[in-house]
Amino acid sequence: MNGVPKQLYEWWTRFTALTDEDLPRARVVGSGAALFCVIFAVLVTTAINGTSSGAFFAMMYAGSDPALLFGTPNLIRTDEWNVQTVWAIAQVQQGLPVINGTFPGGMDATIPQDLPRIDWSAVFRPHLWGFQFFDVDHAQAWKWWLPLLGVAIATYTFVIVEMPRRPLLAALSAVAVSASPFLQWWFLQTTLWPLAWGFATLAAVRWSLRTSRSWHRWIWASVIMYLTVVMAMGIYVPYIVPVVIITALTAIGMIIAASPGLRWPTVILRLVPLLVGGVVAGMILIVWLITRWSTVTAFLSTAYPGERLVPTGLGASLQSIAALFGSSFTASLQNAGRFLDGNASESATFFLPAVFLLPVIVWVVVRAWRSRRADVWPLLLAVVGGIVLLAYIAIPGWDAVAHLLLLDRSTPVRARIGLGFGSFVVVILLLGMLSRRNRPGWLVAALGAVAFIASQAAIAGGLAVYAPDLLQLSGPWWFITIVSALAIFAVGRAWPITAMAALAAVGLIGSFGVNPLYRGVFDLRDTAPAQAIMQINDQHPGTWVAVGDRLTTALVLESGVTAYNGFQGAPNPEMWEQIDPTSTYAFEWDRLAGVSWVPGPGAPVITNPYPDQIQVTFDACSEFAQENVQYVASDSAADLNQRCLVKLNSLPVASTDVILWEVVSPPD
């Protein structure tokens, strides 16, 4: 019995042995990546993913959805199940074109929708590769999980570079980051790739500065070049900028930390491959933007969002601060559909232990300063980055500086991704610097934990007075508070496994059930209404309008026909000239928004129920309809009994009747 632990210990010691440059060996890095890849392969093979497209099942059929394995569709995530997934299936139906043919005049499939397509830029959209090789069920699983796989592997690699003999800690860290409620409530490739890029870049900088092997540095440069293009082609700047700020400052800290042991020419030489990779990435992006310049300029010139600049300090209210730090109350997002912001997604946040680890950080910095240690610079500058983001959220009056940093391209809610990323970076750097022989005392370690408990108690007290329903629907917030406080205390006491296990537990509890487990995707093309639409259009091709709720729009889009419905990127001038030839409603339709139709007399009247929604009235006898529309799909709630329509078919579904019409000339 005594021999087994000893043998295991000896094997583990050999397995985690460092290289001569104090770097992890390939087997340690590769084993973690391989573990996550195996999980990814199983999920893709079984087509299991987290899509909420099963929301359409309840609209189409009675009973339970056989593809829904766990949970319920997350209806607030319409950007996923009612926009991106619907458009992806429309692309598949049309043969993955670069110019989607749904809208009259077409729509660029690359910006900003990032749809599956076949062109050279798809090389840098790895999450979309499945649509070129698999059916839509397995392609959806590939798309869902690949960006998260990137986050997990990048996090694991960063931790193992910082603490080369701790692969278990690195794996736990990957789970903790991946399970963050903010990521789960905003689960899209535009959210995940910036984090993957950030962790990978920090690992690359640290590794490049430590190794004398040039081929190591060029491999890292290739990886970062590729991930830079992948991240940038997502074009969602509000998530990119906060992560870049934290990454850049921490990387500068790593460079400063390396300089005492290396001469500056050597430091610069070792960073040359990464710099070259950055230049190559920039050149690829320039070529890509030039080929898409008309779409880019049209998108940036829209009335909404346009070139939106957000002033500093919009999150300065007590309610906004409570929403930012109220990670223990995450259960209210599912139970109440919100916390202290407008909806569940907008209310989602990260657990931010780094903020409450300030006493430990000060202890580390003071000791490093006294001993003239340079290795504290990455930690110090990561903290500075977090302070900059907090200032952008909570302190008004420095818009000019924020503009130079591009922070005004983000928003207080979106900037939380940088705080979450930075908090994990600080925790990992702290755990790498502390040890049983070099750690603060119990009092210093406990200060942050006590402060966190006090903050959550204060939020609970405020809720009890002003929003008792939210407090009641926040579930066991006190338990999450205790586990979170344990994580903070464990970091200060240099208990890395305990700290990261607690962090992972907080994330898993907070994100449990946010997204369902679904086999494949709910494909409306397999339903009777979509089959009828495709049959009619195959016999006599024409242009469609869907009148009514989102179901009719989705049916028309996934059928692959030409239509005036859907979530548009840059507005197509040809389409809107047909609808609004005098540009009377240019402000209303010149926006990134979903286009829907409701019955109404005369020429189309365009309104915006919300900034990202375009609602247009439809009259089959109008000049627009008579000249441009051949078919209409409506639901029974629309009550579309117009004299210039002839009913072709009526198909009952669970929530309504889908009625298909043909537009005819006005009766005499």
Per-residue pLDDT tens over the stretch 28-84: 999 999 999 999 999 999 999 999 999 999 999 999 999 999 999 999 999 999 999
The per-residue pLDDT for range 143-173, each reduced to its tens digit, is 999 999 999 999 999 999 999 999 999 999 9
At 4 the pLDDT is 58
Question: Above 80 in pLDDT, residue 621?
Answer: yes
Phi-psi region of 309 (alpha: psi -120 to 50; beta: other; left: phi over 0): beta
pTM of the model: 0.95
At 569 the pLDDT is 87
- Structural contact between residues 298 and 570, judged by C-beta atoms closer than 8 angstroms: yes
At 570 the pLDDT is 86
Question: Above 90 in pLDDT, residue 112?
Answer: no
Which residues, 6+ apart, have CB-to-CB distance to 226 below 8 Å?
124, 281
Phi-psi region of 85 (alpha: psi -120 to 50; beta: other; left: phi over 0): alpha
- The mean pLDDT of 76-94, rounded to a whole number, is 96
At 93 the pLDDT is 98
CB neighbours of residue 627 within 10 Å: 9
Question: Above 60 in pLDDT, residue 360?
Answer: yes
Question: Kind of pairing, strands 107-108 and 99-100?
Answer: antiparallel
Question: Kind of pairing, strands 543-547 and 562-563?
Answer: parallel
- The mean pLDDT of 544-551, rounded to a whole number, is 96
- The mean pLDDT of 387-400, rounded to a whole number, is 97
Question: Above 60 in pLDDT, residue 246?
Answer: yes
The per-residue pLDDT for range 126-145, each reduced to its tens digit, is 999 999 999 999 999 999 99
71 or 301, greater pLDDT: 71
The per-residue pLDDT for range 434-481, each reduced to its tens digit, is 999 999 999 999 999 999 999 999 999 999 999 999 999 999 999 999
At 3 the pLDDT is 52
Q: Which of 5-19, 308-322, 413-427, 578-592 has the lowest mean pLDDT?
A: 5-19
- The mean pLDDT of 250-273, rounded to a whole number, is 94
The per-residue pLDDT for range 208-217, each reduced to its tens digit, is 999 999 999 9
- The mean pLDDT of 175-203, rounded to a whole number, is 97
- Rounded to the nearest 5 degrees, what angle is found at the Cα of 287, between the Cα atoms of 283 and 288? 115
Q: Which pLDDT band, with edges at 50, 70 and 90, does 399 fall under?
A: very high
How many Cα atoms occupy the beta-carbon half-sphere of 266 within 13 Å? 12
Phi, psi for 108 (deg, rounded to 5): -60, 125
- The mean pLDDT of 499-514, rounded to a whole number, is 97
Mean pLDDT of the chain: 95
At 525 the pLDDT is 98
At 374 the pLDDT is 87
- The mean pLDDT of 422-444, rounded to a whole number, is 96
The per-residue pLDDT for range 570-609, each reduced to its tens digit, is 899 999 999 999 999 999 999 999 999 999 999 999 999 9
3-state SS, 549-589, equals: CHHHHHHHHHCCCEECCEEECCCCHHHHHHHCCCCCCHHHH
Question: Above 60 in pLDDT, residue 1?
Answer: no
- The mean pLDDT of 280-296, rounded to a whole number, is 94
Residue type, 512: F
Query: What is the C-alpha separation between 208 and 490, in angstroms, rounded?
Result: 31
At 308 the pLDDT is 83
- Structural contact between residues 605 and 599, judged by C-beta atoms closer than 8 angstroms: no
Instruction: Give SS3 for 665.
Output: coil
Question: Above 90 in pLDDT, residue 634?
Answer: yes
